[in-house]
Amino acid sequence: MTKIQTASLEFQQNGTPVSTKFDDIYFSKDNGLEESHYVFQQGNHLVERWKRWQNPHFTIAETGFGTGLNFLAVCQAFEQFKDQNPNSPLKQLNFISFEKYPLNKLDLAKALAPWQMLSVWSDQLVEQYPYLIAGAHRIEFKNQIKLDLWLGDILTQLPQVADNYQGTVDAWFLDGFAPSKNSAMWHQDVFNHMARLAAPEGTLATFTAAGFVRRGLIDAGFDMQKRKGFGYKREMLTGQLKPANEQTQRTKSNQYASVHAPQYPQPASEYRTTCIVGSGIAAVCTALKLTERGHFVHLISQHDLADGASGNRQGAIYPLIQNSQNAISDCHLKSFEYARQFYQNWQKTLKFSADFCGLVQLAFSDKMAKRQQALLDNPIWPEQIFNPIPQSQMQDLTGLEFPYSGLHFADGGWLNPVSFIHSTIEYLKTQGKLKLSLGTELQSFEKLESGWRLSCEQHQKKVIYETENLILCQGWQLAEFEQTQHLTVEPSRGQVSHLKTRDDVQALKKVICHKGYLTPSWQQTHCVGATFEQNNSTSEVKAEDDLTNLSLHQTHTPNLANWLKPQNLVSSRASVRATTKDRLPMVGAISPVDSFKAAFGHYAKGGRLPANPAQAYPNLYVLAGLGSRGLTTAPFMAECLAALVNNEVIPLSLKTLEALHPNRFLMRDMKRGEI
């Protein structure tokens, strides 16, 4: 994986940004917005199509993000459409864009400054501009507008976009610098992927009328026409996917997406009534994400809200990063990036306690110091994610002295998940979008013609519920049902100790992590934790675990040793996390073992990939195995699952989605010949 290089540009006297690499303008200062409207919006007949659109979402994809002007112009048009058509079924806009050389944040703000009529969206784009690492980055805007900005070479990134076996893109903006300036962008593989990802009747528009572009798009499967160009340009191109080529082009995903496409995702449900089993952060984030999309959610739980691992007072929010952009790093970094956006946006509506005060990971051993230095030496990680803090500056940064250097995650912090969960549930109930059934144990479920019948025990009585979609978020107990017994989720017990603050310790301004974690004071109390016992599902508090926590922190934060004493304990809490063997969550649809083996048995032994996905249990999904970083990963994993359920574009690479697939351990066992 290579480092993302930012764009090299200069500004003309009138403010027009110019790429010095490609010797071409990003847009015309005088008529750039008009050209965007004419070429891309009118060329794809967006407003006319929106007026007759019957689906809840519409997806646009663009081959060159640049300054984001095309995207911002569509935001304006979509908001106007929704204001004028409040009863339209179309509620959500998904916009995908690719950029190999993204602008840095300062240049982006400068380039967009002249377009004040778009500032309500451009300000948010600049504020939430993503880390410059390869892959997809989801940014959410008001009026249910979602931007997926894919950074990196488009020829590398396009094969990693899921086509959902049906196509997801309703309109393509084929943009970028002129073909004569940037020929790599106008490549036949790009055209082929455009056809692979295009939905039935998907359209395209581009400012160029170059012959090789027209011929390449025709060869990919589009029916092409010429149209009068904008301004001095005599002609431009528009097109539509030929119906006869829909399946042909999607079958090419085997060629482009290699081993990843067949396992994820599964065909989506069109139903909007969903039962979620669980009451922790995963279940509640999923409920929030689905109700945003028009679902009515029935949340059932055997226990009270936040009764499990999500009931801790303060949990740290920071990513798990390995020294390569593998699936673990990709999942956790994209989740971390999204979590801050998610929680801060919801703090404007909900009342819960959180503080993105920053987090410091101490280099508490030679091994950890070498690991941190390797991360710092790796050019793929930009300093916006973490930066080194020498021991001499530790007190100025954190408020307390520590005997180590470390890494500072400026966007990290802590969350009180209990207040978030309770506030979210009350909000959804007030909105009339949620039914809550606590003290309700799911004992079994069976398939109906259009959903699931749930057999539950509720306050010692048998109750039956029916639902169209069923999502299991009950943590380590996931595998207790006939349909899920092959899923490998393990219990891991952890205990957190709570210490009363004192004047010197109250100066702590950052979350501190080593082998454990220490939070800043909240309600005059610090959290000190946590123990980790695999394959232990008991949640009784043990006095010896408090001593273990105190001893661990005395070792790694010796300057606080005289405070880390049993007499300063005010309470403790033990709970059970759900963990997986590979430290990644399980997200997605479940396939029966027999159908999965039938679909992938030949491939697992080195054969060709199947053309179609394995049969899944219809409308049955899981989100589990979030482990000790559930507060960080839950919002983004819930967003990805909601996108899957609603047949939307999914904001993660196929490679990472495959790594999250609930049936991934089945595939590994098949490859090893164990089943």
Backbone angles phi, psi at 582, to 5 degrees: -105, 10
Look up the domain containing 548 and give its range.
Answer: 359-410+490-579
Same domain, 511 and 477: no
Q: What is the dihedral of CA 498, 503, 505, 507, to 10 degrees?
A: 120
Backbone angles phi, psi at 618, to 5 degrees: -60, 130
Gap between the Cα atoms of 439 and 56, Å rounded: 34
Same domain, 392 and 438: no
Q: Is 352 a member of any domain?
A: no
Gap between the Cα atoms of 595 and 481, Å rounded: 18
Q: Into how many domains does the chain fold?
A: 3
The neighbouring-strand residues paired with 623 are 587
Token pair for 589: 């649809």
Tally the residues of the chain.
Answer: 675
Gap between the Cα atoms of 78 and 86, Å rounded: 12
For residue 479, which of 583, 593, 600, 615 has the smallest C-alpha distance?
593
Query: Letter for the amino acid at 650?
Result: I
Q: How many CB atoms lie within 10 A of CB 637?
A: 32
For residue 452, which of 433, 472, 434 has the smallest C-alpha distance?
472
Name the one residue in this structure whose structure tokens are 């503080």. 355
DSSP-derived 3-state class of residue 446: strand
Same domain, 524 and 559: yes
Q: Are 617 and 593 in contact (CB under 8 A)?
A: no
Identify the H or E element spanning 283: helix 281-292
Sign of CA dihedral 33, 37, 38, 43: positive
Q: What is the CATH number of the domain that holds 209?
A: 3.40.50.150
Gap between the Cα atoms of 641 and 629, Å rounded: 18
Same domain, 133 and 42: yes
* Per-run averaged pLDDT (10 residues), the chain, 675 residues: 82 77 67 90 98 96 94 97 96 96 92 92 96 96 96 94 89 84 84 95 94 95 95 91 65 41 49 91 97 96 91 95 92 97 96 97 96 95 95 97 96 98 98 96 93 94 96 92 91 96 96 96 95 92 96 94 96 94 92 82 72 78 94 98 93 92 86 78
Query: Letter for the amino acid at 428?
Result: L
Query: Letter for the amino acid at 235?
Result: E
Gap between the Cα atoms of 413 and 517, Å rounded: 11
Helix axes 593-604, 664-671, angle to 10 degrees: 50
* Residue after which a domain boundary falls, among 195, 224, 257: 257
Full 3-state SS string of 388-412: EECHHHHHHHHCCCCCCCEEEECCC
* Residue after which a domain boundary falls, among 531, 559, 579: 579
Q: Is 68 a member of any domain?
A: yes
Q: Is 428 a member of any domain?
A: yes
Sequence-ordered list of residues with C-beta below 8 angstroms from that of 494, at least 6 positions apart, any chain: 309, 529, 530, 531, 532, 533, 574, 575, 576, 577, 628
Same domain, 601 and 528: no
Same domain, 526 and 598: no
Distance in Å from the first CA to the final CA of the chain: 34
List strand residue ranges (DSSP E) for 100-234, in order: 135-141, 145-151, 169-174, 198-206, 222-228
Q: Are 499 and 516 in contact (CB under 8 A)?
A: no
Distances (CA, A) of 69 to 26, 127, 134, 445, 643: 9, 16, 21, 49, 25
What local confidence, expressed as pLDDT, does residue 316 receive? 96
Same domain, 459 and 402: no
User: DSSP secondary-structure letter at 539?
Assistant: -
Query: Letter for the amino acid at 631?
Result: L
Q: Are 286 and 623 in contact (CB under 8 A)?
A: yes
Q: Is 458 a member of any domain?
A: yes
For residue 334, which of 2, 655, 666 has the smallest C-alpha distance?
655
Gap between the Cα atoms of 526 and 501, Å rounded: 6
Q: Are 632 and 336 in contact (CB under 8 A)?
A: yes
Same domain, 494 and 517: yes
Q: Is 207 a member of any domain?
A: yes
Distances (CA, A) of 141 to 87, 95, 124, 131, 422: 20, 11, 7, 17, 25
Same domain, 395 and 446: no
Same domain, 201 and 123: yes
Distances (CA, A) of 407 to 246, 315, 374: 49, 19, 12
Same domain, 237 and 192: yes
Q: Is 481 a member of any domain?
A: yes
Helix axes 630-645, 327-346, angle to 10 degrees: 90
Gap between the Cα atoms of 79 and 82, Å rounded: 5
Sequence-ordered list of residues with C-beta below 8 angstroms from that of 79, at least 6 positions apart, any chain: 142, 143
Q: Are 404 and 363 in contact (CB under 8 A)?
A: yes
Sign of CA dihedral 408, 409, 410, 413: negative
What local confidence, expressed as pLDDT, does residue 398 receive? 97
Q: Is 121 a member of any domain?
A: yes
Identify the H or E element spanning 453: strand 451-458
Q: What is the CATH number of the domain that holds 522?
A: 3.30.9.10
The neighbouring-strand residues paired with 240 are 203, 223
Same domain, 574 and 588: no
User: How, if at all, do strands 517-518 and 525-529 pair?
Assistant: antiparallel
User: Longest C-alpha distance within the chain, in Å?
Assistant: 82
Q: Is 599 a member of any domain?
A: yes
What local confidence, expressed as pLDDT, does residue 258 receive? 38
Distances (CA, A) of 412 to 316, 361, 421: 8, 11, 20
Gap between the Cα atoms of 273 and 297, Å rounded: 6
Q: What is the CATH number of the domain that holds 588?
A: 3.50.50.60
DSSP-derived 3-state class of residue 101: coil
* Residue after which a domain boundary falls, among 551, 579, 607: 579
